[in-house]
Structure 1
Amino acid sequence: MTRAAARPQGGHELLLLEGTREFFPALIAAMDAAQTLVHFETYIFDFTGSGAELAEALLRAARRGVQTCVAVDGLGTGTVPAEWQQRFTEAGLHWRVYSPVNALALLLPTRWRRLHRKLCVVDGHVAFCGGINVLDDFHDPSWGRLEAPRLDFAVRVTGPLVADAQQTMALLWRRLQAVHDLRRREPLQAVQDLLRDGGQRGAGAPPGPSGARAALLLRDNLRHRKRIERAYLKAIGAAHREVVIANAYFIPGRKLRNALVRAAQRGVRVQLLLQGRYEYFMQYHASRPVYGLLMDAGVEIHEYAPSFLHAKVAVIDGHWATVGSSNLDPLSLLLAREANVVVEDKAFAQQLRERLLRAMREEGRRMEPTHHGRRPWLQRCKENLAMFVMRLALFVTRKRY
């Protein structure tokens, strides 16, 4: 069992990064300093604006002989522009696609499983984890130019969990490489790669008594099916004073709803920062039927107004925090590959808490129970339709939520 399944341990240095304006420079600096390996995973890789700057950093690393491996999701990223494909090939950059999609593939529930985590390891020494795609903060592929930046977070980490990130990324890469080799009719090499050990440990700092306590939590369809959800449930269940959650696609299942309600009923202040702008039909409308239940129990709901909310973070009692890729919805918690960093450190938690509370205070709109109860019948119809679509999808995948 890897430390990704263990409790947080000490010896970590953490840096909270907000948006691509902080995340990309830190990532590019690490890539430009790389000597042996850049291993990168993302759901969306978009080449607009600052996304192209990150792609250039990957090219620079590959050209100077650094092993540069990039894995993207077939649905989230789609087809890479021909110009970039050629440049990647000429530089020697290794690019693999997780579960390529077509019209027929989308009809198969097993192909709905996506690579949604955002991870990067450089030289086995530093790791990045969060919810930020390679997507300019002021650009959206569906909605175009944004007036305000998308709100999202990532964390830069050095310490023991870097080895866990490298190991899990190496294992997935070997599977993708095996599929790639099979398609190129190189079955012997593919089998050898597939059966090889899951990856060598990186050169992350060893555990130590100092530094923040942290752990990498994974969600997949094999050994870690409910790891992230259980971490949320445990932390909320142990809360004494405060629960602060910011989540883009918030469609909590029964266990999570009950945990939030019980926390509020025992006097814990529960504050949620949720999506206030329409982005996707099901995720936007299916979340709203549960608002009334939560607000009746005393949960505060704030909707982020300036732009799209894409964060998947939480702070509990000012010392427990998580930053990652996992939404609190069925797709993330039942189907997608996700990665979250869980932190037990007052300084880090306080920094994230202050940013979330400021967003609620200055950039959010608090939802009032009476206003929510008087929403128009057409809105309720959309909510019921979205909930029906979600439940139908879960029925087809034979998942319970």
Structure 2
Amino acid sequence: MNLIPGNRLTLLQNGVEYFPALEAAIDHARREIFLESYIYQYDETGRQISAALKRAARRGVTVHLLLDGFGARTLPKAVVGEMRAAGMQVMFYRPDVSLRLKRHRLRRLHRKIAVIDTRIAFVGGINIIDDMDAPGQIPPRFDYAVAVEGPLLAEIHQSARRLWALIGWLQLRRHRSRSRRQSAPLRIAPRGSIAAAFVRRDNIRHRGDIENAYLDAIDSATDEIIIANAYFLPGRRIRQALVQAAARGVRVVLLLQGRVEYFLLHYASRALYGMLLGAGIEIYSYHKSFLHAKVAVIDGRWATVGSSNIDPFSLMLAREANVVALDADFAGTLRGSLLQAISEGAQQIMVDHWNHQPYYQRFLAWVSYGLVRFLMGMAGYARRYEEA
């Protein structure tokens, strides 16, 4: 992991902070925009961001919109046509959606990135979707993004540009934009004092980068580990690292999904609760709204914000992107936000209560865990998951 100094990072919580910042950056764009998203709903938020992107394209900005073929499958074709008519370039990552368990179809574009003029970038877990439209819960969905200014932008820009070029080549399309003609590495002046890294996961050179970043930070922890994850189903290495951290006196806190969004993953993760609680790890179940965050703070200094869950789908299949920061102020802001979420919207799971839960709940958890293992095996990843 390459920490680059001289950055300014701004933590953005939920869509109420993220979407106005993203729209303002788009409206100030003068040369190019790269926007990647797993989900792109054409709801109130989607229409607002789409309008900003079309305004940018009409004033001559080169707009690249890359969406996942599964996550954005409900985006109307007519809307995509309107975007292209306005001058936007739109592509879909693996548009061949199928329920068959073939590994190449399970590899999705799950990262959420925006890069504007190599002036500012956004990295996080927030999709283009109205997070206030949350029937049956108290909105908004609980999530984060980070605005990045400074030298780290060069790596984020390069990653977005290369992925766009790759998908264009794979789909046999030509996208002759100014960004593709640029080959020399960018040099961006410092904008702050934070050392940060752009950590991504792909299926070629960076398969284990995000997992290894977590492992290095957990293994070196001396005081406290706080992890908030929407879908938490770690492999053996991360499970052991957390247990060993707790054994050496580190306070380990997990803020996890309390509401059922995806039935199988929800109950599969609960199969691990007994082992984690028995090791002295604190687990808090977040019920206030849907937890969609993928963040962590370790020792009040190391922090990460991104799109990657700690589960087999994020760590072995999807394209993901996180920002890792080594800065007490940034980490402190994120830590304070997480502690507030625990205080206001979560309930601690106590080990005695968990050990005396009804038999059928344990059975459901272990059956779900077994099904996840089976699905990973059908896709050819069971051994890698258990060894991860």
Q: How far is 1:60 from its partner?
A: 1.1
Any residues of structure 2 matched to 1:48-59 within 5 Å, and which?
48-59=43-54
Residue 357 of structure 1: which of 339, 342, 345 is its match? 339
Residue 150 of structure 2: which of 138, 150, 159 is its match? 159
Q: Which amino acid aligns with 1:93?
A: M
- Are the equivalent residues in 2 in contact too, given 1:306–1:363 (CA < 8 A)? yes
Distance 2:82 2:58 in 1: 10
Q: How far is 1:166 from its partner?
A: 1.0
Deviations 1:194-216 (A, max 9, x none): xx89955446335x8x5101010
Residue in 1 that maps onto 2:380 = 398
Distance 1:200 1:79 in 2: 38
- Are the equivalent residues in 2 in contact too, given 1:273–1:301 (CA < 8 A)? yes
Residue in 2 that maps onto 1:205 = 189
Q: How far is 1:145 from its partner?
A: 6.1
Deviations 1:291-324 (A, max 9, x none): 1111111111001111100000000111100000
Residue in 2 that maps onto 1:185 = none
Distance 1:41 1:145 in 2: 29
Distance 1:101 1:381 in 2: 35
Q: How many residues align?
A: 381
Q: Matched residue of 2:265: which SS? A: helix
Residue in 2 that maps onto 1:180 = 171
Could you tell which deviates more after superposition, 387-396 or 336-345? 387-396
Q: Matched residue of 1:75: which SS? A: coil
Q: Matched residue of 2:171: which SS? A: helix
Q: In angstroms, what is the RMSD of aligned CA positions? A: 2.0
Deviations 1:36-69 (A, max 9, x none): 0010001000111222211111111111110000
Q: How far is 1:125 from its partner?
A: 1.6
TM-score, normalization: structure 2? 0.94
Could you tell which deviates more after superposition, 376-385 or 273-282? 376-385
Residue in 2 that maps onto 1:150 = 141
Q: Which amino acid aligns with 2:349?
A: M
Residue in 2 that maps onto 1:43 = 38
Residue in 1 that maps onto 2:234 = 252
Residue in 2 that maps onto 1:113 = 107
Could you tell which deviates more after superposition, 50-59 or 243-252? 50-59
Q: How far is 1:96 from its partner?
A: 0.4
Aligned identity (percent) is: 46
Instruction: Give 5+ residue unaligned stretches, structure 2.
Output: none
Residue in 2 that maps onto 1:268 = 250
Distance 1:46 1:204 in 2: 33
Q: Matched residue of 1:262: which SS? A: helix
- Are the equivalent residues in 1 in contact too, given 2:98–2:105 (CA < 8 A)? no
Residue 138 of structure 1: which of 132, 149, 164 is its match? 132
Residue in 2 that maps onto 1:3 = none
- Are the equivalent residues in 2 in contact too, given 1:213–1:343 (CA < 8 A)? yes
Q: How far is 1:135 from its partner?
A: 1.2
Distance 2:101 2:205 in 1: 26
- Are the equivalent residues in 2 in contact too, given 1:271–1:300 (CA < 8 A)? yes
Distance 2:322 2:61 in 1: 27
Instruction: Give 5+ residue unaligned stretches, structure 1.
Output: 1-5, 183-188
TM-score, normalization: structure 1? 0.91
Residue 74 of structure 1: which of 60, 69, 81 is its match? 69
